């Protein structure tokens, strides 16, 4: 297409609807369970943590859910985001493949997370909520929610995984700049945090622990605070589909259609946000796009985990969901892709992967940073370590196309920039990073503590 590199939509092209995968799920969804009773969860239980509008979105089977004007006005600060053809990377790889990326790093928060943070803050605000609690791994989610809460005049407490709290001070400062209170997790603020520190005063923390702390604070606030999360649940993935809806229009502008769509996965939000609208095209329009989820070998829930019911957090406070899991007691290695260090995976994404509608691979940390540097030197954008997993898989796809002499159109989600991740790149250049492959025996050990679910009674 005439050498064009950027494919931009106008502001009035901003999607008016989110896409809800629940309407087209080719596999029957499993129930979400109360963590105390292991019976199907009730709206009353969920309302302790979430406003009713988000609960309704969680269970809705409407195909399209309208994006309120107040949210669209904030989206206009950065959306529609660009679709970029990576011509310089194609040349560096000498590949016949055409590589495109949807660049979510242009958001004020630096990642895709603001798409759902804005929505969750809005629905909490109109329901009368005054304060939110949340967790964050690498800090992208925490900084996005801090900005959204600032927009809607909500207080925010963030429990940030300790290894990231210590290694990513600029993300922490960014959250504080927008008015959030940020605590290192595990902390001395919550009962669960104190219990973790009693067992291991030097605990590096995990997303499961940080979730437990944030949920505990919200649950004990007598309705004064609600809980917000950046991935896994359906309403979160729903809000992210604005990415894929834009990408469909932009690929049309490019005159091509992807043979493969790629995204990194931790809980599943950025991958699903791009991939689910293309999955709809597979299911409803007969398209054949391959959908590829990429995770670290250090947290291989889709590729090594068990598809079963598990708690969403370490303290067993959150609903029990059927998903690919490494076990809620999972303690991740302190790899630099902090946003991918979660023990489980979104239930809808897990079910689709189990049924073969989505493929999954795991890649090593050093190869991921190799790809990140190669991409940045070709395209000029330093990617977040999380996003670099998608880049690794994209480069491998492009090289495979080269080896086979095939033209292949590849689309991936560059879900955020890595401008606040220089300590990770410093460690890479100084040779201080290691590859970590999560041991099978550790997964087996964690499976002993799974909830015993019997849905036949």
Domains 6-14+79-110+235-449 and 19-65+112-233 share a fold: yes
Residue that wins the pLDDT comparison between 430 and 438: 430
Residue-by-residue DSSP string for 37-60? T-SBP-HHHHTTTS-HHHHHHHH-
Mean pLDDT computed over 264-288: 97
Model confidence pLDDT, tens digit, residues 181-206: 999 999 999 999 999 999 999 999 98
Q: Which of 37-51, 57-71, 355-369 has the lowest mean pLDDT?
A: 37-51
Q: Over 60: is that where the pLDDT of 437 sits?
A: yes
CATH number of the 19-65+112-233 domain: 3.40.50.1100
* pLDDT number for residue 29: 82
Task: Give the architecture-level CATH label for domain 6-14+79-110+235-449.
Answer: 3-Layer(aba) Sandwich (3.40)
- Per cent of the chain over pLDDT 70 is 98
Nearest of 158, 187, 71 to residue 121 by alpha carbon: 71
Q: What is the dihedral of CA 233, 238, 243, 248, to 10 degrees?
A: 130
* pLDDT number for residue 385: 94
* pLDDT number for residue 5: 96
* Helix (DSSP H) and strand (DSSP E) numbers for the chain: 19, 15
Mean pLDDT computed over 137-147: 93
Tell me the β-bridge partners of 362: 295
Q: Over 90: is that where the pLDDT of 347 sits?
A: yes
Which pLDDT band, with edges at 50, 70 and 90, does 207 fall under?
confident
Which pLDDT band, with edges at 50, 70 and 90, does 159 fall under?
very high
Average pLDDT, the chain: 94
* pTM recorded for the entire structure: 0.95
Model confidence pLDDT, tens digit, residues 348-370: 999 999 999 999 999 999 999 99
Model confidence pLDDT, tens digit, residues 243-252: 999 999 999 9
Q: Are 137 and 163 in contact (CB under 8 A)?
A: no
Q: Over 60: is that where the pLDDT of 1 sits?
A: no
* pLDDT number for residue 138: 80
Helical packing angle, 365-379 and 422-429, nearest 10°: 110
* Domain residue ranges of the chain, discontinuous segments joined by +: 6-14+79-110+235-449, 19-65+112-233
Model confidence pLDDT, tens digit, residues 365-406: 999 999 999 999 999 999 999 999 999 999 999 999 999 999
Q: Are 145 and 121 in contact (CB under 8 A)?
A: yes
Which pLDDT band, with edges at 50, 70 and 90, does 164 fall under?
confident
């Amino acid at each position: 297409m005439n050498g064009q590199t950027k494919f931009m939509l106008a502001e009035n092209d901003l999607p008016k609807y989110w896409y809800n995968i629940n309407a087209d799920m080719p596999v029957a969804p499993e129930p979400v369970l109360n963590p105390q009773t292991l019976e199907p969860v009730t709206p009353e239980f969920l309302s302790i943590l979430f406003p009713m509008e988000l609960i309704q979105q969680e269970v809705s089977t409407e195909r399209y859910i309208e994006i309120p004007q107040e949210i669209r006005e904030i989206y206009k600060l950065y959306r529609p985001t660009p679709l970029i053809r990576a011509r310089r990377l194609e040349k560096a790889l000498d590949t016949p493949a055409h590589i495109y990326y949807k660049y979510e790093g242009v958001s004020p928060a630096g990642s895709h997370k603001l798409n759902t943070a804005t929505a969750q803050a809005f629905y909490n605000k109109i329901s009368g909520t005054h304060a939110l609690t949340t967790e964050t791994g690498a800090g992208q989610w925490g900084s996005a929610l801090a900005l959204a809460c600032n927009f809607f005049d909500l207080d925010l407490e963030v429990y940030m995984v300790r290894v990231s709290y210590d290694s990513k001070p600029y993300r922490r400062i960014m959250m504080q700049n927008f008015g959030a209170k940020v605590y290192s997790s595990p902390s001395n603020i919550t009962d669960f945090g104190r219990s973790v520190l009693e067992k291991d005063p030097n605990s590096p923390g995990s997303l499961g622990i940080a979730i437990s702390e944030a949920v505990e604070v919200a649950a004990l606030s007598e309705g004064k605070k609600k809980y917000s999360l950046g991935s896994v649940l359906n309403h979160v993935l729903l809000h992210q589909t604005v990415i894929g809806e834009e990408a469909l229009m932009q690929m049309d502008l490019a005159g091509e259609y992807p043979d493969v769509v790629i995204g990194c996965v931790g809980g599943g939000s950025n991958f699903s946000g791009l991939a689910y609208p293309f999955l709809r095209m597979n299911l409803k329009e007969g398209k054949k796009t391959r959908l590829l989820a990429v995770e670290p070998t250090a947290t291989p829930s889709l590729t090594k985990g068990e598809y079963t019911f598990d708690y969403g957090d370490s303290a067993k406070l959150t609903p029990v969901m059927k998903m690919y899991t490494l076990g809620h007691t999972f303690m991740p290695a302190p790899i630099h892709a902090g946003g991918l260090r979660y023990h489980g995976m979104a239930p809808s994404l897990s079910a689709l992967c189990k049924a073969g509608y989505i493929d999954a691979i795991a890649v090593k940390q050093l190869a991921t940073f190799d790809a990140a540097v190669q991409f940045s030197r070709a395209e000029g954008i330093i990617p977040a370590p999380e996003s670099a997993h998608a880049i690794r898989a994209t480069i491998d796809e492009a090289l495979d196309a080269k080896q086979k002499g095939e033209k292949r159109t590849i689309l991936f989600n560059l879900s955020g920039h890595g401008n606040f991740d220089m300590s990770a790149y410093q460690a890479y250049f100084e040779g201080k990073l290691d590859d970590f492959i999560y041991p099978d025996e550790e997964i087996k050990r964690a499976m002993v503590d799974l909830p015993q679910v019997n849905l036949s009674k």
